[in-house]
A and B are shown apart, each in its own frame.
Chain A
């Protein structure tokens, strides 16, 4: 720790698909203040030293989910990580692990985005309520049941933290399964049965070995590990019930 300002060395993993076969590391020295974030450092480099450095960012207030990077080997939001905590450096920044790198610190997110519809992440009702009938009722307690899972900003840090995803890119993964749980736990929703196939699939909850690291790195307290492992119970129940041919899997 230092007094909160000075200079810091930053090592950045760079990759230009038009020239490189694999990434290499470049060193930059940037000044920082007590409140400079890692994102500020990247912007400083882009504006003043090397405009060709590519990275995603947008809101700079830890809510849009764009700016995840590996920072000294740990997935973090760069706008919510501060240089003062890494002084005197050097600080190592890489693209999020486990995703294909497009350029420098930019990764391909299609693996996650393309799978989103499989979670059927919308409110499913047997009978849709007419607008004129007003809102559904839901008590604050019922709302609390999905408060944490609905806080996911899709930053994908959890995927970068999950070795199972690293080895099995088809694994639905923490955020997607948390999203399933978000709707399943919503008292207004009746679509649990439609979401069971994703949960039960080989790439669903059973690919998770409860490393628990996804929850540790999540910047929003979503606790995807819990969401997944609670669904193992559901999945087992579902399997058992189908085995007994009693039900087709649990719209409760």
Chain B
């Protein structure tokens, strides 16, 4: 009946370096290699065409010290204090020293940064930063960064793109990562890409939760891939809730609004953040004060307002109000045009006339594939950068605008490191062994299409997972609910094999891909839940209500490392934090009291 034979084809190609992910991190890596090592062949593999990657959605800006009154040390301190000392301080030092250069590099490639009257790129305030150092391109910074990188990458014919190829496995031989196996989505055929080194740049895993700011593609594939090959995920319990997103959809309303001076008010029109140690109430934006506090504190304050019944009700749940009216139509049009469009489109609000209803949603995966400061993972030949990686700069709470900068700094680093590794020909694997591995892996993935009908629906399982995470591992956590989430997740991952697909065809079968993704997402969810349950303290974005309400440096000033063995719940280990020069201290915001608001 079919016009095509159903036998999965397996093609195979060789490259010096394979990059998985065409977002800001993957593209930075690719361009760095192409520029510095023009003799190397680069395969850029992405399940969506690169400019569709979720970097495109970043709005607010990218950090990079510019002004004379600022300094690298200040950026370092803001980041380490913001991350509540769970940052690798050497990595942070390396990072802050390179941000500015990367912003300039992007400018030279054509990035349309917003400008001051003097013709130099402008900077804005951002949460938790002591001074304005966030570069921006109106409120579409990520969009412009991604398109600039993508378009610049077209200059280099050595970057061979594999657009809409879905990576479902790594090739590992002789203890080294030597390539990936992918599905060519359009045809459903398999493709093994062998390489001297592999870079993971697959982005975050926000889809683990129900209400999030992430794209549909952010299912944590890279994290899942690393886990399955024995590489640990670090600090996964730290999940950032962004305080200002649209109720229901989770569409992001950038922190840039607050950087420009927006207010957050409760149902009484009261700027409630002053009640949570972030005051005094100021009319103009003051760094690290009120609305410019860090994201963890702001999301937590929302939770308390909600408990106290001071939020407003929307058809999609409780919200507070983000007021931009006093900024004036002109400034909104110039600095926040996309926010204006989003608010009008998705909630029917013109922000120049009325407040936008907002609430916290899951936004950013602070943890990730554990790497050292050079982006190398524990698996030789495997590098990781961008949101899927944990190089250690975000700690327990990322500061807004540090991530886009991270993509550039560590994307480049990953590219150069991987190039160095791949150039060492002695490490090349045995082609025959790799081919056999690829065949096996392809056959496993193809099994999804042969499963009997009548099983569970994929979406049902996914919904149960996201609900369990939303309920058990939210802004405030307790042992009972986390344990119950852990249990549900273990059950769900047993059920994965009982799913059956409606679509057994090969060509552009997105249901098939979703099933493989769900496998990755579930593994990531399990790591988050177990790491959270095991961290018996409160720090940054991980806040507990069950007696572990305080930070406990003695026990837990340590990174968590999650590993996964088949058929077992995740194992959580701990590793010391690299503290080079800023000893742990108190985390203060606002001009007011240092007392932390605890329930």
Contact A135/B143 with A47-B457, A65-B51 known, Cβ cut-off 8 Å: no
State whether the Cβ of B71 lies closer than 8 Å to any Cβ in chain A. no
Q: A188 near B48 (CB under 8 angstroms)?
A: no
Q: How far apart are the CA atoms of A172 and B57 in the complex, in Å?
A: 27
Q: B107 near A140 (CB under 8 angstroms)?
A: no
Q: A35 near B502 (CB under 8 angstroms)?
A: no
Interface membership of chain A positions 61-76, coded 1 if the CB is closer than 8 angstroms to chain B and 0 otherwise: 1111110000000000
Q: A33 near B315 (CB under 8 angstroms)?
A: yes
Interface residues of B in 501-537 (CB under 8 A from A): 501-503, 505-511
Q: A62 near B345 (CB under 8 angstroms)?
A: yes
Q: How far apart are the CA atoms of A114 and B341 in the complex, in Å?
A: 31
Q: What is the minimal beta-carbon distance from A237 to any residue of chain B, in angstroms?
A: 24
Partner of A109, one of B49, B217, B503: B49
Q: What is the minimal beta-carbon distance from A116 to any residue of chain B, in angstroms?
A: 6
Contact A52/B508 with A18-B2, A18-B4 known, Cβ cut-off 8 Å: no
Interface membership of chain A positions 218-237, coded 1 if the CB is closer than 8 angstroms to chain B and 0 otherwise: 00000000000000000000
Closest A residue, CB atoms, query B504? A52
Q: B110 near A189 (CB under 8 angstroms)?
A: yes
When distances are taken between beta carbons in the complex, the residues of chain B under 8 Å from A123 are 108-110, 152
Q: How far apart are the CA atoms of A80 and B147 in the complex, in Å?
A: 21
State whether the Cβ of A136 lies closer than 8 Å to any Cβ in chain B. yes
State whether the Cβ of A154 lies closer than 8 Å to any Cβ in chain B. yes
Contact A35/B346 with A60-B251, A143-B114 known, Cβ cut-off 8 Å: yes
B interface secondary structure, majority:
loop
When distances are taken between beta carbons in the complex, the residues of chain A under 8 Å from B457 are 47-48, 51
Closest A residue, CB atoms, query B499? A51
When distances are taken between beta carbons in the complex, the residues of chain A under 8 Å from B507 are 16-18, 102-103
Closest A residue, CB atoms, query B135? A135
State whether the Cβ of B567 lies closer than 8 Å to any Cβ in chain A. no
Closest A residue, CB atoms, query B2? A18
Interface residues of B in 105-151 (CB under 8 A from A): 105, 107-110, 112-121, 140, 143-144, 147, 151
State whether the Cβ of A22 lies closer than 8 Å to any Cβ in chain B. no
State whether the Cβ of A202 lies closer than 8 Å to any Cβ in chain B. no
Q: How many A-B residue pairs have CB under 8 A?
A: 170
Q: B505 near A138 (CB under 8 angstroms)?
A: no
A interface secondary structure, majority:
loop
Q: A113 near B112 (CB under 8 angstroms)?
A: no
State whether the Cβ of A153 lies closer than 8 Å to any Cβ in chain B. yes
Q: A116 near B154 (CB under 8 angstroms)?
A: yes
Q: A16 near B108 (CB under 8 angstroms)?
A: no
When distances are taken between beta carbons in the complex, the residues of chain B under 8 Å from A51 are 457-459, 501-503, 511
When distances are taken between beta carbons in the complex, the residues of chain A under 8 Å from B505 are 16, 18-19, 52, 103
Q: How far apart are the CA atoms of A51 and B461 in the complex, in Å?
A: 14
State whether the Cβ of A131 lies closer than 8 Å to any Cβ in chain B. yes
When distances are taken between beta carbons in the complex, the residues of chain A under 8 Å from B338 are 63
Besides A47-B458, A64-B56, A128-B108, 6 more A-B contacts (Cβ < 8 Å) are A35-B248, A48-B457, A64-B51, A64-B54, A123-B152, A131-B105
**4 A-B pairs with least C-beta separation:** A137-B119, A51-B502, A47-B459, A52-B503
Residues of B within 8 A of A (CB): 1-4, 48-49, 51-54, 56-57, 101, 103-105, 107-110, 112-121, 140, 143-144, 147, 151-152, 154-155, 163, 186, 215-217, 248-249, 251-252, 315-316, 338, 341-342, 345-347, 457-459, 501-503, 505-511
Q: Show 19 A/B contacts (Cβ-Cβ < 8 Å), sorted by A.
A: A19-B505, A34-B315, A35-B248, A35-B346, A35-B347, A51-B459, A58-B217, A64-B48, A64-B51, A64-B215, A122-B109, A123-B152, A131-B105, A134-B104, A140-B114, A143-B114, A153-B143, A179-B151, A189-B110
